[in-house]
């Protein structure tokens, strides 16, 4: 409503100021085709210059590196070797296994965090009195440095002194969960879920508070049960906000690898060697194979570029999703 | 208020919801509480196979952290400088560019927005490799300015994108009114838009600070002994001979507490910030 009222006078003003016959030419002159001489571009210039150095230059270097043998000792030098790095990476079975592992890890953490995040949001939404306090506690893990989250996980699960290890031994899970190839990946997944479910819960809670109470009341008057209301009324209304949570989480899930570094660093027996760990090894740990690392970097980059495209398509130009306050009602 | 349910369901949820809420709070909070307790425990209370909550609190761990051979004081200074400088630069440049992007009338607007967003989303591992080679060539490895630049690679696009989302929320009528009053565009930005976006600026600053303070990957790849930051100190405490958990917990408390407080202080606007401005949470 208010938007409509705003636009009306503005249009009249503009047409009065510029006679229609000359409007086209005047606009063309005032606005250079690329918009580079505008005040707005001048405001962006300093930041975009820095960003250029930190994104386009590395990107070009990354592409060059992927076709070269890179030496960094005694000055940086690139010796071009054609597609050697690419064929080595594409022909390496261990790397394909690492991709498969990354996919499992990615789907597991994002999937679990979405489901648990929804569950937490639903509980918090039903909670009237202590919502603010509980939400504050739930948010805390997000602010802990991921490397510390990994180490804290190791401490809690330490088979001789860990608090959680003791509890798990009580139910028969006596082994060191991070040291066994079959349990290491699920354990890391659950540590990541601990840290990042709060983010999903926070976003979805904002979506839940935005569902009009009248809709819910109408559904309950009709005699629909809670689960039915949830599936056929609440969730469909929350679709855009669920997509936001999914995209934000997906992009971070592939960005960070600190938790893995701090817990298993890829082991035991490669059970947790996801692609970023593999890349890090190529680049910094064993034999300096920066070219192969560059190939892996480019393939990872392709994924995040697709994510950014989807995000921008849905939420870039459109005004943002209005949602209720996530907390302070209790 | 929001839900009216049949009596049976209501009485069940009256018990079920608080019970689940307690489970959730314990799940999220217990490891942090345990970490806090461990930081004040004497070694004997940590190295026991029967985890305990009865112990005589001590400050030994904190004392060892700063006074022992661990040089955590130096790490702390590096962390403060890198986080402070990179946050200020990101927020200042981010405000300017975010405002510019929001009001830029150009057909390249979408492309610039995409560029900014995809830079923020780029996987850390993929950015690290070329940045390492660049910095090696430019002599920026193991320097504070190098680390500040590295942190800008994720915080600057984040600040631009987020500030642009916050500026876009200022009603256009307000902006137009300022222009009609004879303001220049720059004065309008300074006196009208910037004050109206104050909450957004604070949120952006806090989140930039958290990302920079908590970074481990960039600093461990690009800094050396002189420029190491606090999260690296955590990595350094992990040795072949085992981990001093008391020391590590004390360090974790030092690293985490300021961020937890800052995070909760902007809680109202967190949804906007962490969803990259896609959700308005006020």
pLDDT tens-digit readout, B158-169: 999 999 999 998
- Euclidean distance between CA atoms A202 and A192, whole angstroms: 16
Domain assignment of residue B115, yes or no: yes
- Euclidean distance between CA atoms B1 and A328, whole angstroms: 15
Q: Which domain, by its residues, includes A249? A: 92-315
Domain assignment of residue A325, yes or no: no
Chain A residues within an 8 Å CB radius of B72: none
Domain assignment of residue B104, yes or no: yes
- Burial pattern A79-114, b for ≥16 Cβ within 10 A else e, equals eeeeebbbeebeeeeebeebeebbeebbebbbebbb
pLDDT digits (tens, 9 = 90+) for B30-82: 999 999 999 999 888 888 777 877 888 888 889 888 887 777 888 999 999 99
Point out the residue among A136, A280, A307 whose CB comes nearest to the CB of B264: A136
- Euclidean distance between CA atoms B155 and B159, whole angstroms: 6
Chain A residues within an 8 Å CB radius of B132: 72, 283-284, 290
CATH classification of the domain holding B186: 1.10.3720.10
Alpha-carbon gap: B255 to the closest alpha carbon of chain A (Å): 8
Q: Smallest Cα–Cα separation from B41: which of B251, B255, B258, B249?
A: B249
What's the number of domains chain A is made of? 2
Domain assignment of residue A188, yes or no: yes
Name A322's bridge partners. Answer: B280
Domain assignment of residue B173, yes or no: yes
Name B238's bridge partners. Answer: B243
Domain assignment of residue A57, yes or no: no
Report CB contact under 8 Å: B134, A309. Answer: no
Instruction: Please indicate, yes or no, whether residues A23 and A99 belong to a single structural domain of this protein.
Output: no
A258 at interface of B, judged by CB pairs closer than 8 A: yes
Q: Which of residues 83-102 of A touch B (CB under 8 A)?
A: none
Instruction: Please indicate, yes or no, whether residues A25 and A130 belong to a single structural domain of this protein.
Output: no
Report CB contact under 8 Å: B24, A307. Answer: no
Whether ipTM exceeds 0.85: yes
Instruction: Please indicate, yes or no, whether residues A26 and A157 belong to a single structural domain of this protein.
Output: no
Alpha-carbon gap: B273 to the closest alpha carbon of chain A (Å): 10
Instruction: Please indicate, yes or no, whether residues A250 and A149 belong to a single structural domain of this protein.
Output: yes
Alpha-carbon gap: B127 to the closest alpha carbon of chain A (Å): 7
Point out the residue among B1, B28, B259 whose CB comes nearest to the CB of A213: B1
Mean pLDDT value across residues A87-115: 93
- Euclidean distance between CA atoms B96 and A40, whole angstroms: 9
Domain assignment of residue A26, yes or no: yes
Alpha-carbon gap: A21 to the closest alpha carbon of chain B (Å): 22
Domain assignment of residue B175, yes or no: yes
Domain assignment of residue A22, yes or no: yes
- Euclidean distance between CA atoms A178 and A57, whole angstroms: 39
Domain assignment of residue B8, yes or no: no
Chain B residues within an 8 Å CB radius of A55: 115, 119, 122, 153, 157
Show Cβ contacts of residue B52 under 8 Å, excluding neighbours closer than 6 positions: B45
Domain assignment of residue B178, yes or no: yes
Q: Which uninterrupted H or E stretch holds A227? A: helix A226-229
- Euclidean distance between CA atoms B201 and B98, whole angstroms: 11
Domain assignment of residue B267, yes or no: yes
Block mean pLDDT (10 aa), chain B, length 282? 50 79 95 94 82 83 83 90 97 96 88 90 90 90 94 95 91 83 86 91 95 94 88 83 86 93 89 84 58
Any idea what DSSP says for residue A287?
Answer: S
What's the number of domains chain B is made of? 1
Domain assignment of residue B113, yes or no: yes
Any idea what DSSP says for residue B128?
Answer: H
Instruction: Please indicate, yes or no, whether residues A133 and A240 belong to a single structural domain of this protein.
Output: yes
pLDDT digits (tens, 9 = 90+) for A171-227: 877 778 888 888 899 999 999 999 999 999 999 998 888 888 777 777 767 777 778
């Amino acid at each position: 409503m208010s938007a409509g009222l705003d636009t009306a006078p503005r249009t009249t003003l503009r047409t009065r100021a510029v006679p229609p016959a000359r409007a086209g030419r005047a606009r063309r002159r005032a606005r250079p085709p690329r918009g580079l001489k505008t005040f707005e571009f001048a405001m962006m210039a300093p930041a975009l210059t820095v960003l250029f150095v930190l994104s386009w230059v590395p990107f070009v270097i990354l592409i060059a590196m992927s076709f070269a043998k890179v030496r960094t000792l005694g000055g940086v030098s690139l010796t071009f070797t054609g597609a050697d790095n690419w064929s080595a990476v594409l022909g390496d079975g261990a790397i394909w296994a690492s991709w498969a592992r990354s996919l499992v890890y990615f789907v597991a953490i994002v999937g679990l965090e979405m489901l648990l995040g929804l569950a937490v949001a639903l509980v918090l939404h039903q909670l009237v009195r202590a919502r603010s306090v509980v939400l504050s506690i739930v948010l805390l893990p997000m602010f802990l440095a991921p490397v510390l989250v990994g180490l804290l996980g190791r401490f809690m699960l330490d088979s001789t002194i860990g608090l959680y290890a003791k509890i798990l031994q009580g139910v028969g899970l006596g082994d060191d969960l991070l040291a066994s190839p079959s349990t290491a990946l699920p354990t890391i997944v659950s540590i990541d879920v601990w840290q990042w479910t709060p983010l999903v819960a926070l976003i979805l809670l904002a979506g839940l508070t935005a569902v009009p109470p009248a809709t819910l009341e109408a559904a309950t008057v009709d005699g629909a049960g809670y689960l039915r209301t949830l599936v056929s009324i609440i969730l469909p209304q929350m679709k855009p906000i669920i997509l936001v949570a999914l995209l934000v989480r997906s992009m971070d899930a592939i960005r960070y690898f600190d938790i893995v570094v701090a817990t298993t660093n890829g082991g035991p027996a490669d059970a947790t060697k996801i692609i970023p760990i593999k890349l890090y090894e190529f680049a910094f740990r064993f034999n300096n194979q920066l070219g192969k690392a560059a190939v892996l970097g480019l393939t990872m980059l392709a994924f995040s570029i697709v994510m950014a495209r989807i995000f921008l398509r849905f939420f870039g130009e459109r005004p943002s999703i209005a949602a209720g306050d996530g907390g302070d009602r209790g | 208020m929001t839900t009216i349910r049949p009596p049976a369901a209501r009485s069940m949820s009256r018990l079920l919801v608080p019970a689940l809420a307690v489970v959730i709070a314990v799940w999220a909070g217990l490891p942090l509480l345990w970490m806090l307790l461990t930081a004040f425990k004497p070694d004997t209370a940590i190295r026991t196979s029967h985890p305990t909550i009865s112990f005589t609190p001590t400050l030994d761990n904190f004392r060892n952290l700063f006074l022992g051979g661990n040089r955590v004081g130096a790490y702390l200074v590096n962390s403060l400088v890198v986080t402070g400088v990179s946050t200020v630069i990101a927020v200042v440049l981010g405000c300017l560019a975010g405002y510019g992007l929001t009001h830029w009338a150009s057909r390249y607007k979408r492309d610039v927005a995409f560029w900014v967003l995809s830079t923020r989303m780029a996987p850390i591992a993929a950015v690290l490799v070329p940045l390492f080679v660049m910095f090696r060539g430019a002599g920026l490895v193991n320097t504070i300015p190098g680390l500040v630049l590295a942190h800008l690679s994720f915080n600057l696009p984040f600040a631009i994108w987020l500030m642009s989302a916050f500026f876009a929320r200022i009603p256009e009528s307000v902006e137009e009114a300022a222009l009609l009053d004879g303001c220049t565009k720059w004065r309008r930005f300074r006196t009208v838009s910037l004050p109206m976006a104050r909450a957004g600026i604070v949120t952006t600053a806090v989140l930039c600070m958290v990302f920079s303070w908590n970074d481990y990957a960039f600093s461990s790849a690009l800094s050396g002994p002189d420029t190491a930051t606090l999260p690296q100190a955590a990595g350094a405490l992990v040795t072949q001979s085992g981990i001093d958990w008391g020391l590590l917990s004390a360090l974790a408390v030092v690293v985490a507490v300021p961020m937890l407080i800052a995070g909760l202080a902007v809680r109202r606007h967190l949804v906007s910030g962490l969803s990259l401005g896609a959700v308005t949470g006020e």
